[in-house]
Amino acid sequence: MTIDKNHDYTATVRTTDGTVVIQLLPKIAPITVNNFVFLARHGYYNHVLFHRIIPGFMIQTGDPTGTGQGSPGYTIKDEKVRSRYTPGTVAMANTGRPNTSGSQFFITVAKPYAQLTATYTIFGRVIRGMSVVDAINNTPVGQDPASQEVSYPLRDIFMETVTVH
């Protein structure tokens, strides 16, 4: 553990479409925030694609391969979800199985689909730049060749840097 869960942390995510500021939630999800901070401070998220966009729902990033299959080479323990997924929620993506989060995360733009269960650890909230999140979410998408889901961005959008304060 390299963070102090009693401190306040924000992450400034500079993207090719603008800047988003996230209030991190170390008291609620210390393991996940610690993991995110560790990866950000080591440049892991620099120049990483938003590889999945579900219009009207969420944007996803954090995979350095840009395929949706990449990870940091390890997984972290899930933490209990204690709040609802609302617009601007930042949560860890996973494979659908317990304790399979690593580096990929998503930001919701609207109330989530009914099938979104409380299995995605919430570790932050957008406090500035929701218009940037919305703009990314409005990017045209096509069918993903691997999953067949209509969520593949038709233009490249990157996280240029992630800086933790």
Residue range 10-33, pLDDT digits in tens:
999 999 999 999 999 999 999 999
What's the structural domain count of the chain?
A: 1
State pLDDT tens for residues 123-148: 999 999 999 999 999 999 999 988 89
Residue 145 has a pLDDT of 87
- 117: burial class by Cβ within 10 Å (0-12, 13-18, 19+)? exposed
Decide if 4 is inside a domain: no
Decide if 68 is inside a domain: yes
Residue 83 has a pLDDT of 87
Predicted TM-score (pTM) of the model is: 0.96
Q: Percent of the chain scored above 70 by pLDDT? A: 98
- 66: burial class by Cβ within 10 Å (0-12, 13-18, 19+)? middle
CATH number at residue 103: 2.40.100.10
Decide if 3 is inside a domain: no
